[in-house]
Amino acid sequence: MTSILVIDDEKSIRNSLRDVLEYEGHLITEAENGMEGLSSIRSNDFDLVLCDIKMPKMDGSELLEMALESKPELNIIMISGHGDIETAVDCIKKGAYDYLAKPLDLNRLLVIVRNGLEKGNLVTETKTLQKKIKRYSNSKIIGSSEAINDIHEIIAKVAPTDARVLITGPNGSGKELIAQALHNQSKRAKNPFIEVNCAAIPSELIESELFGHEKGAFTSAIKTKKGKFEQAEGGTLFLDEIGDMSPNAQAKVLRALQENKITRVGGEKEIKVNVRVLAATNKNLKEEIKATRFREDLYHRLSVILIENPSLSERISDIPELANFFLNIACKEMGVAQKEISESAIKELTTKDWTGNIRELKNIIERLVILSESKIEKEDVQKYA
């Protein structure tokens, strides 16, 4: 049964719409003003909303903008009085699905409602297919070893939620690919994925990078700047190498996670943020906590789900697949004819000590593409790897 929210300050209009739509088999919820309607939208999942334009406390145009901020794919049909047609058309430009003029025409009402619900169903089906495609076809996490299959299973379970994830593993093992996969398979996939390498930003600049700053906050702050939390609004913020974050920044990140609010450097205004935070590190954070270099309360906030990414030495069986994957990419990027790699060359690669992990393998394959002939042989690996 489809669920429809009717927002109108006139009880007679609400009753009429309820009678007609319940007869058509829909489940109807009512709200008598904009504030009540917005609260219902934020706390429930409706298939369609019918909203009057002129209402006390909050008009329909304002409600439309705020509702679409939290649920951008919600279909909202505006109800306009005789003098509100221009406003109704303006609402459509802002994202409303359609509008109905008072007095309500029964046939037009049923047609618009039916079309709005069909569009909603189509969007839902499309999102479901996109998730399947992303999971099975476009995953950049290459490999079929048991360790990688386990990670795929965890991603499939965790991605649709907003649970925070801490990804651990050595440098060059591809932790950022796990974070990207979590984002791509989440309900936030259409919104930004913002990555911050905490180890690459000086400690005195990390707070400005994360939270932004106001004009004049420090010498070089010549204009107001949004930080990564604001840039990731509605999407995912990936804090890579979080074990290298300064203590002051750790405290502010903890507050942001607790309250979903941030304050720009040099500012006083609290800014609400809706961001899913993923983090990664190559350090043992429990050891860092013992050494008082990392906050224990922040660790527990970040590690709702823990994913341990294996080193390449722990997934040797994936080397043939990875080598061919990087080989194809390297040939295309360098504009050279497609090269092959022999079985003996692959076998030679599996015997190496991969201290640099996936990143090292990628670099070596690129080197072999440049320096070897049309087919990469065992001798090439021995010479150039």
Beta strand pairing status for 305-308 and 165-168?
Answer: parallel
CATH for the stretch 313-384: 1.10.8.60
Region 148-170 average pLDDT: 95
Written as one letter, the residue type at 238 is F
Residue where the block lists tokens 């080397």: 319
Least confident window among 164-168, 254-258, 265-269: 265-269
- With CA atoms as reference, report the closest residue to 240 among 202, 302, 198: 198
Identify the residue with better confidence: 327 or 85. Answer: 327
In this predicted structure, the answer to whether residue 36 has a pLDDT above a threshold of 90 is yes
3-state secondary structure the chain: CCEEEEECCCHHHHHHHHHHHHHCCCEEEEECCHHHHHHHHHHCCCCEEEEECCCCCCCHHHHHHHHHHHCCCCCEEEEECHHHHHHHHHHHHCCCCEEEECCCCHHHHHHHHHHHHHHHHHHHHHHHHHHHHHHHCCCCCCCCCHHHHHHHHHHHHHCCCCCCEEEECCCCCCHHHHHHHHHHCCCCCCCCEEEEEHHHCCCCCHHHHHHCECCCCCCCCCCCECCHHHHCCCCEEEEECHHHCCHHHHHHHHHHHHHCEEECECCCCEEECCCEEEEEECCCHHHHHHCCCCCHHHHHHHCCEEEECCCHHHCHHHHHHHHHHHHHHHHHHHCCCCCEECHHHHHHHHCCCCCCHHHHHHHHHHHHHHHCCCEECHHHHHHHC
Written as one letter, the residue type at 121 is N
pLDDT digits (tens, 9 = 90+) for 55-71: 988 989 999 999 999 89
Instruction: Output the pLDDT for position 57.
Output: 84
CATH for the stretch 143-310: 3.40.50.300
Instruction: Output the pLDDT for position 351.
Output: 95
CATH-assigned architecture of domain 3-129: 3-Layer(aba) Sandwich (3.40)
Region 194-218 average pLDDT: 88
In this predicted structure, the answer to whether residue 35 has a pLDDT above a threshold of 60 is yes
Region 247-274 average pLDDT: 92
Cis peptide bond N-terminal to 310, omega within 30: no
Region 247-257 average pLDDT: 92
User: What's the pLDDT band for 236 if we cut at 50, 70, 90?
Assistant: very high
In this predicted structure, the answer to whether residue 219 has a pLDDT above a threshold of 50 is yes
User: What's the pLDDT band for 363 if we cut at 50, 70, 90?
Assistant: very high
Instruction: Output the pLDDT for position 138.
Output: 41
**Percentage, residues of the chain above pLDDT 70:** 95
Instruction: Output the pLDDT for position 73.
Output: 87
Phi/psi-derived region of residue 38, left when phi > 0, alpha when psi is between -120 and 50, beta in every other case: alpha
Instruction: Output the pLDDT for position 83.
Output: 67
Q: 22 is written with which tokens?
A: 């319940």
Q: 268 is written with which tokens?
A: 């006083």
pLDDT digits (tens, 9 = 90+) for 283-321: 999 999 999 999 999 999 999 999 999 999 999 999 999
User: What's the pLDDT band for 128 if we cut at 50, 70, 90?
Assistant: low
Contact 203, 246 (CB under 8 A): yes
Asked if the domains at 143-310 and 313-384 fall in one CATH topology, the answer is no
Beta strand pairing status for 193-197 and 261-263?
Answer: unpaired
Instruction: Output the pLDDT for position 136.
Output: 41
Beta strand pairing status for 3-7 and 165-168?
Answer: unpaired
In this predicted structure, the answer to whether residue 331 has a pLDDT above a threshold of 50 is yes
- Which sequence spans correspond to the domains of the chain? 3-129, 143-310, 313-384
In whole numbers, what is the pLDDT of the chain averaged over residues?
90
Instruction: Output the pLDDT for position 135.
Output: 45
User: What's the pLDDT band for 44 if we cut at 50, 70, 90?
Assistant: very high
Contact 57, 37 (CB under 8 A): no
Region 335-356 average pLDDT: 94
pLDDT digits (tens, 9 = 90+) for 71-124: 988 999 999 886 677 888 888 888 999 999 888 889 999 999 999 988 887 776
